[in-house]
Structure 1
Amino acid sequence: MRYRRANVAGATYFFTVNLADRQSSLLVDHIDALREALRRVRQVHPFGIDAMVVLPDHLHALWTLPLGDADFATRWMLIKAGFSRQIPATEFRSPSRVAKGERGIWQRRYWEHVIRDEEDFARHVEYIHFNPVKHGLVRQPVEWPYSSLHRYVRLGLVGAEWASDGRGEGRFGG
C-alpha cells in the first residue's frame, strides 16, 4: 500500500521529521551539517521557511512552496541525504536498510499537514516555537538556540518574553 500525501501546489505545510534513534542528539550535535543540507536544497529547489525548530532527535518546520510546486517529498529526501552524507556511519542499520543502501539516521516517514488558514498557521508557529519548552529542554522558548523564534523577535513580530509564563498559546496573531 502506498502512503497518500497531500499535494497542494504553492501551499504552506507543517512537517515533523524524526531521527530513527529517538534518544539521539545528532540534529543539534551536527546543526551546521543540517543547515548546509537545507541551504543546498533551497538553492536548487526553493521554498520559504516560515518557522522551524530543531530539537536533538526531531524537527518541526513550516514551509511555503513556490506557486505551481507541491514537491516537498523530493526536498525532504535531499535534505535527509545531504545531512546523512556529512555524518560518520556509526548508527545501527536494519537488514532492510542495508539491502536498500540506506543509512539508519532518519525515520523513513514524516508527518505533513497542509495549513488551512491564518489561524492554523499561527497555531503551528506557536507549536513550533514552544516545542523546546514542551520537551523540557529550556524554561522559556527564547532560550533555545535552534529556533526561528529568534528571527520573529528580531523582526519585532513577538517580544523576547513570548510564552515566558510557560504557556505557548494565543500569542501570535491569526
Structure 2
Amino acid sequence: MTAYLRRRGPGGTYFFTVKLAEAGSGVLIDHVDLLRRAYAHMAALKPLTCHAMVVLPDHLYALWTLPEEDADYSNRWGALKARFSRDFRVRLGLPPLPRSPSRRRKKDAGIWQRRFWEHAIRDDAEFEAHRRYCWMNPVKHGLVADPADWAFSSIHREIRAGTLPADFVRSPEKGEVGEAA
C-alpha cells in the first residue's frame, strides 16, 4: 500500500492540481456551471480563500489559503469532486458507472483521478509564481493568446478589481509570457 505524505498546517496556503480520470476530456469546461456550483457548495460548508483558479478542459489548478484553525483540504476536494460527479451524472441521465470494488469502497465515481497534487506554499515569491502559473496555463496549452481571453479563470476577478500585479503582462507580444518586458 502506498503511503502518501501530505504536508498540512492549519491556515496554510496550497497550490493544487486536480485532474479528470479521462485525459483529453472537455467535461470541466463543458459543465463549468456544475463545477462552480460544487465549489460554492463546498466553500459555504468549509470556507477558504481562493487566490487563483483556472479550469481547463480536463484539469484545474487552484491556490487556496485555509482558515487558521483548519488544515483539511482533502475533504474540501472530496466534497467538490463528489458533488460535481453526482450532478454531472444526473444532468446526463446516466446510471452510476461500473466500478471496481476498490472504487466502491472509496465512493469513487470514476470521473476524477483519485488523487490530486498539492504543494505547500512557503513564501511570497512562490505564492506569486503559482498564481501566475494558474493564470498563464491556458496560454501554455495553446487555448488562448492572452490569459484574459480564457473565460474559466480567476484572472477576471483581479482585472475587475484592478488588483492584477503591476508587472504582469497579459499579452505575449509585450515580452516574455507572464513577466514584465
**Counterpart of 1:77?**
78
**Counterpart of 1:119?**
125
SS at 1:87 equivalent: helix
Matches of residues 33-72 of structure 1 in structure 2 within 5 Å?
A: 33-72=34-73
Matches of residues 1-174 of structure 1 in structure 2 within 5 Å?
A: 1-88=2-89, 89=94, 93=98, 95-96=100-101, 99-100=104-105, 101-158=107-164, 162-165=169-172, 167-171=176-180
Query: Does the CA-based 8 Å contact 2:14-2:65 persist in structure 1?
Result: yes
| Residue identity opposite 1:170 in structure 2 | E
Percent of aligned pairs with the same residue? 45
What are structure 2's unaligned runs of at least 5 residues? none
TM-score (ref. length: structure 2): 0.86
Deviation at 1:165, TM superposition (A): 1.4
Query: Does the CA-based 8 Å contact 2:13-2:63 persist in structure 1?
Result: yes
Distance in 2 between residues matched to 1:21 and 1:64, nearest whole Å: 28
Query: Does the CA-based 8 Å contact 2:135-2:147 persist in structure 1?
Result: yes
SS at 2:88 equivalent: coil
Query: Does the CA-based 8 Å contact 2:99-2:109 persist in structure 1?
Result: no
Deviates further, 68-77 or 95-104: 95-104
Query: Does the CA-based 8 Å contact 1:97-1:103 persist in structure 2?
Result: no
SS at 1:136 equivalent: coil
SS at 1:77 equivalent: helix
Distance in 2 between residues matched to 1:113 and 1:168, nearest whole Å: 23
What's the Cα RMSD here? 2.0
TM-score (ref. length: structure 1): 0.90
| Residue identity opposite 1:168 in structure 2 | V
What are structure 1's unaligned runs of at least 5 residues? none
Query: Does the CA-based 8 Å contact 2:55-2:153 persist in structure 1?
Result: yes
